Structure 1
Amino acid sequence: MSSRDTSRPVGTVAVWGTFDLDNFGDHLFPRVTEQEITRRLDGWRVRPFSPFGAEHPCRMDGGFIAEALGDWSPVRVEQLAESADLTLIGGGEIVHFQDELLAGAYHTTPQVLAGRAPSRFFVDGLGDYEKDHPVVWNAVGIPFVPDAEKAGMIKDAVSRREYTAVRDELSLERLRACGVEGDVALVPDLGFLLDRLVDPKVLDERLRYLKFMGWFPNDRPAMVVQANRSAVHQVAGIAKVLDWALDEGIVGDVVLMETGPCHGDDLFADALQQKLPTRTVHRLPGGQPPEDILAAIWGSAGVVAMSFHANIAAFVYGKPWVVLDLSDQSKLRALADTMGHPDQRGTDEDTLANAIRAAFGREPDPERLRGLQAKVDAHFDRIAELAMRSWQERGGDAAARIADLTRQNNLLRQANQQLRKRQIAERRVLVDRVEETRDELDQLSARWNAAVDEINNRYQHDSKELQALQNTKLIRWSQPLRSVYGRIRRSGS
């Protein structure tokens, strides 16, 4: 790229991650990132990239489709460096080297995935091109410490970056174990900004849709439950605890939700439904877009889930949350700590029962939420500063951008004036039509009242004639004969 490239009037931020998997959390990261970047950098583009992108269609993307990173190669890295002013990697636990773990989720072979080399993209980023193109880990998680060679790659990648962010203390400890010594920001997961992502009116509308489809109870509280295939062998114990909880005062129905079709959530839901034969159980089918999952949590009485981001959503919406952590995962342990209540994490039947009792007996903690959100906001503020500086250094012209915004503002003003004129004209037409309708209604009302009066008058006249007829001698004297005649006819029939 030339030192003075004015072909792009606005900047571009690329965000890399596994956004092409059928998993709830993975589809939140690019949405939240785009929302927060465009709030700070008006008019900027946010381009999501994933290992396969549109080559691996998934049901949960809701039309938010990532571009393909493609196979790793020096040429591809150069193309990606040229396509944006700053690159974000994550969130999620994507800083590792075990690409083969993703083969099943992508429905491909380890060999094909090795060619894509997502770990090389996610760890090494843009390599030497990072001298002129900032790369930032976007509050990522680090699931484990790699061997010495891979740890060295992580250390080298972090050392050449001005700003790095991980999402919890455990990830920071693992970075330190890789030999990273510089400053690393601790930034809570991006999901703590979920309350800005979907308007409450939209959530209410989506919830009505879920109820219409029969996937969510209409008039009873709902306890949302979720886990994946790893919990199937423990489903009997989970059902026992849920039965106890529902008997002990958490009145409501069970909604089985699938947040990770690629992790076998349906297998767990099938098994648990069979273990709750006396309960009313609803199923939210797998593959629903994030908006529907958020709506179910928004409308629930509480959540018992293995899903990292289902628990975060419940916390953000002020709902009781219980982390179902039967495998004692470090990320779920860290999550419960981050949200302030380690005792709301269940690792077996006893701790799960205690966690439910604790969660459903507590009030929401908006003060803690605001503190977590402030940290995520500071993270995006820093990213916006880095992006703006990079854009200017790569040829972005702030004065030209201001002029372009001024031009857009003038066009919007003109459009608004035209809209106002049209609204005024339409209002006049509407007022005239309303007046005409009122006149028509008045005429109809008058005709109706006249018809009612005529019917009442006729009724009164006919009633008087009938009364007069019944009082004549003929009617009175013939009554016995008419009674006998009536009995004869009835006996004959």
Structure 2
Amino acid sequence: MSSVRRSRSYDLHRPFKDARSIHVFAAKMKSFKVAVWSGSSLQNLGDRLLAAVTEEELRRRIPAIVLRHYCPWANGRHPAPLHINASGGWPGTGMFDAVVVAGGGVLAGPPFQHPVMATFCLGDHPELFDPRVKFAWNGVGLQDNCPDLAPESKAQGRWQRSYLKAFSQRATYLSVRDKTALSRLKAAEAAHAVLTPDPTFALPLSLYKSKAFRRKPRVGFMIGALGNSKIDTDNLKHLAPTATRNPEHVFRYESHLDADSYRNKNTAMHFFGICSAISQLNKSFEVNIVTANNIYGDQYFARSLALLFPDVRVQNIPIDIRSLGQITEIQEVFASYDVLVCSRFHSVILALRAGVRVIAVDPYKHLSGQPTKLADLLQQLGLEHRIWQPESIGLADLITSSLHDEHVEPARYEVQHRAAMHTFDEITQTLR
């Protein structure tokens, strides 16, 4: 009985040693066996959150479910390693009733910059994948650096569409979170693909607010490492005394990394704008830098900013999420702010969930002109005016004006929440 109780917990560490032990257990219990594929072994808030939300919502709808997590980057048993061979086989072949990809920006090709990303599209030959298992995508997004589809008149374009068509024909249910991903699948004749909110919107609104009295509005900067540019901490130590008063010194340092690179110029403009905003707001607002230790090195970027502004507090949030109950601490941190300036996709969603006004900093603008996942998200929410463009308005001005905007975040979040819950209902119906 203890094994049954543990199998129903929301802990991502399942009690089963391997997929075969799940198969034996499920046969005895006449259960429905589901494998959840995600990036849950990675040190990343979004990937872990997606896995936890997916597990909870599937358990809510399928009482007899037996579930195991898989991840292409895993090196242990919880989650289990995931790979697909040339024949379409994978570690759970023949042992599950369904596979659910828990969302995330995992549509990364073709061509795939790294072969591991092809896993979420069922490998090199999607049509050969485990023939008895049903397969679903839930709110998958296009990776921001995904190569564009070549024209159909070219061999590359025909191959890309042929691959995506084979994948979509093998999939039982396909939902994506952004219009760019949807148009890509539609171009490959994936008629059954649908647009849906990111799965983390299935979390209900959490509008608890800090009761502490504050004389100044509180602004949090939760900014990830910007682009591929590196900030030399030793150089910043020398720049810090003047950069605090004159952030353009940092702009010059950052921009000379590659004067001819559009991406580095774009990064430099964002970095300068952030420094300038902190410098201006710090006089009349309570300003903090919020960060998390993740695979992108956001904690190092936060430390670099802190060197420039030694009187600004750095607040760390935990991301070692093993159950949904553990996001309470994150939500309490977010809810304590009046405005959050974020550059990470799921940080924006959690800030909206807490009812906080959000400003999106989006330095990954596509050279092709296609909207990034962050821009697409705010457009779907009707908050595109909250995407900061450094060439159009000062960040400090946008933050200040947002405090006077109508507080629409809770209502916009609720719409997305209902749609996300409906998608989980549809997936459950389709898979069973």
> Which of the residues 151, 159, 172 maps onto 2:169?
159
Q: Distance in 1 between the 2:79 and 2:139 partners?
A: 19
User: What's the counterpart of residue 379 of structure 2?
Assistant: 337
State the alpha-carbon separation in 1 of the partners of residues 134 and 142 from structure 2. Answer: 20
Residues 264 and 218 (structure 1 numbering): CA distance in 2 closer, same or farther, change over 3 Å? farther
CA contact (8 A) 2:359 2:399 kept: yes
Between Structure 1 and Structure 2, how many residues are aligned?
Answer: 345
TM-aligned CA deviation for residue 75 of structure 1: 7.3
Q: Say if 1:245 and 1:288 are closer, same or farther in 2 by CA, change over 3 A.
A: farther
CA distance in 2, matches of 1:287, 1:90: 17
Which residue matches 1:26? 47
Question: Which blocks of at least 5 consecutive residues in structure 1 are unaligned?
Answer: 57-64, 102-113, 212-216, 389-493
Q: Map of 1:392-411 to 2, 5 A cutoff?
A: none
CA distance in 1, matches of 2:306, 2:110: 34
Aligned-partner Cα distance in 1 for 2:195–2:176: 5
For normalisation by structure 1, the TM-score amounts to 0.62
Judged with a 3 Å threshold, the aligned counterparts in structure 2 of structure 1 residues 304 and 334 are, in CA distance, closer, same or farther, namely same
TM-score normalised per structure 2: 0.70
Q: Moved runs in structure 1, 4+ residues, more than 4 A?
A: 98-101, 217-222, 285-290
CA distance in 1, matches of 2:331, 2:274: 23
The CA deviation string for residues 332-374 of structure 1, in whole angstroms up to 9 with x for no partner, is 1101112211010113172534432343323133332222112
Amino acid of the residue matched to residue 268 of structure 1? F
User: Structure 1's 70 and 129: CA in aligned 2 closer, same or farther, altered over 3 A?
Assistant: closer
Alignment counterpart, residue 282 of structure 1, candidates 311, 314, 323: 314
Question: Is the counterpart of residue 230 in structure 1 residue 226 in structure 2?
Answer: yes
Q: What secondary structure, in the 3-state scheme, does the structure 2 residue paired with 1:322 have?
A: strand
Residue aligning to 1:52: 73
The structure 2 residue matched to 1:194, chosen from 190, 196, 203, is: 203
Alignment RMSD:
3.4
Query: In structure 2, what is the equivalent of residue 472 of structure 1?
Result: none
Counterpart amino acid of 2:137?
A: W
Q: Answer yes or no: is the 8 Å Cα contact 1:99–1:118 preserved in 2.
A: no
Q: Which residue of 2 aligns with 1:370?
A: 414
Q: What residue identity is the alignment partner of 1:163?
A: Y
**Greater strand fraction, Structure 1 or Structure 2:** 2
Going from structure 1 to structure 2, the CA distance change for 1:35 and 1:252 (only over 3 Å counts) comes to same
Task: Tell me, yes or no, if the aligned pair for 2:71 and 2:82 is still in contact at 8 Å.
Answer: yes
Is the contact between residue 222 and residue 300 of structure 1 (CA under 8 Å) also seen in structure 2?
yes
1:166 deviation in Å? 0.6
Matched, 1:270 2:303: yes
Q: Give the Å deviation of 1:275.
A: 2.1
Q: Output the CA distance in 2 between the equivalents of 1:320 and 1:366.
A: 10
Matches within 5 A, 1:352-371: 352-362=395-405, 363-371=407-415
Aligned in 2, Cα 1:119/1:100: closer, same or farther, shift over 3 Å?
closer
Partner AA of 1:334 in structure 2: D
Mapped to 1, the partners of 2:373 and 2:51 lie a distance apart of 20
Q: Deviations over 1:396-420 (max 9, x none)?
A: xxxxxxxxxxxxxxxxxxxxxxxxx
Q: Say whether residues 1:132 and 2:166 are aligned partners.
A: no
- Tell me the CA shift for residue 91 of structure 1: 0.8
**Percent of paired sites with the same residue:** 21
Match of 1:184 in 2: 193
- The question of 1:69 aligning with 2:82 is answered yes
**What is the CA deviation profile of residues 3-44 of structure 1, one whole-angstrom value per residue up to 9, with x for unaligned ones?**
xx9444211221112222111111111111011111111141
Task: Kindly indicate whether the alpha-carbon contact (under 8 Å) linking 2:362 and 2:387 is maintained by their aligned counterparts in 1.
Answer: yes
SS in 1 for 2:364: coil
1:85-126, Cα deviation, whole Å (9 max, x unpaired): 11112311111248986xxxxxxxxxxxx6xx4333211266
- Cα gap change, 1:171 to 1:100, in 2 (>3 Å): closer
Which residue type is aligned with residue 99 of structure 2? T
Q: Choose between structure 1 and 2: higher helix proportion.
A: 1
Does the 8 Å contact 1:36/1:380 carry over to 2? yes
| Structure whose alpha-carbon radius of gyration is higher | 1
Residue matched to 1:452: none
Instruction: Name structure 2 gaps, 5 residues minimum.
Output: 1-19, 150-155, 232-253, 255-267, 367-371
